[in-house]
Amino acid sequence: MFDGIADRYDLVNDVISLGQDRAWRRATVNAVDAHSGELVLDLAAGTGTSSESFIRKGARVIACDFSLGMLSTGVRRRGGASRGGVTFVAGDALHLPFADGTFDAVTVSFGLRNVNDVDLALRELLRVTKVGGRVVICEFSHIPVGFVDRLYSTYLMAALPKIAGAVSGKGESYDYLSESIMAWPAQADLARHLQDAGWSRVAWRNLSCGIVALHRGFREQ
């Protein structure tokens, strides 16, 4: 599915989120807080838009995804597969092609919801993180006020696929986006998945009233 929408993926994001996606990405970068000399895994990195911001303080980033269409778009835009601190790697979240304890920080933006086995992916992320390292998950979530969440669900089901379809020409992919957001676990539930996978000191905070949530955890052993 992502191979088919790769070229217009970033443009559609800006349109359907009314530009909010940029603020969500800034919040993710601040939560990861990657520093010079650190190695960051941006899993389900797609075209690498989520990866670019991590290099600002001198960290190196591995942008890993299994959609060759998304990766190719990213490589074309950056002018190479390994440029300016971002290296694109083809890999599956369920069998990460990295040794144990490789990364100082691992992060997933708007990707975990798309992975077939979320719990296995969270365990794989833990495996490739150094002891003392951290995980940050940026993902769509749920507005904690019932009637507002219902209004938002109406937007998701009725308007979002039409708007995204008009911009991308692939409306059916965005039916999937709406359905997957509504089926995704709420904040506390996702925190439990992280804890069950072995992550410690798990906490989260809402962005845009819970439309998006940032979860963070640490590998303690």
Ligand X SMILES: C[S@@+](CC[C@H](N)C(=O)[O-])C[C@H]1O[C@@H](n2cnc3c(N)ncnc32)[C@H](O)[C@@H]1O
- Are β-strands 200-207 and 129-140 bridged in parallel, bridged antiparallel, or unpaired? unpaired
Q: Are 155 and 182 in contact (CB under 8 A)?
A: no
Phi and psi dihedrals of 211, rounded to 5? -60, -35
Nearer CB in complex with ligand X: 37/97: 97
Among 29, 32, 54, 111, binds ligand X (CB under 6 A): 111
Radius of gyration of the chain (CA): 17
Stretch binding ligand X (CB under 6 A), from 39-47, 147-155, 188-196, 208-216: 39-47
Stretch binding ligand X (CB under 6 A), from 46-54, 126-134, 188-196, 199-207: 46-54
Q: Whole-number minimum distance, CB 145 to ligand X, in Å?
A: 26
Which residues in the 142-171 window bind ligand X by CB under 6 A? none
Please give the sequence-ordered ranges of beta strands (E in DSSP) within the chain, or none if there are none: 39-43, 60-65, 82-83, 86-90, 103-109, 129-140, 200-207, 212-218
Residue set of the binding site? 47, 65, 92-93, 109
**Contact residues for ligand X, defined by CB under 6 A:** 2, 44-46, 49-50, 65-67, 70, 92-94, 109-111, 114-115
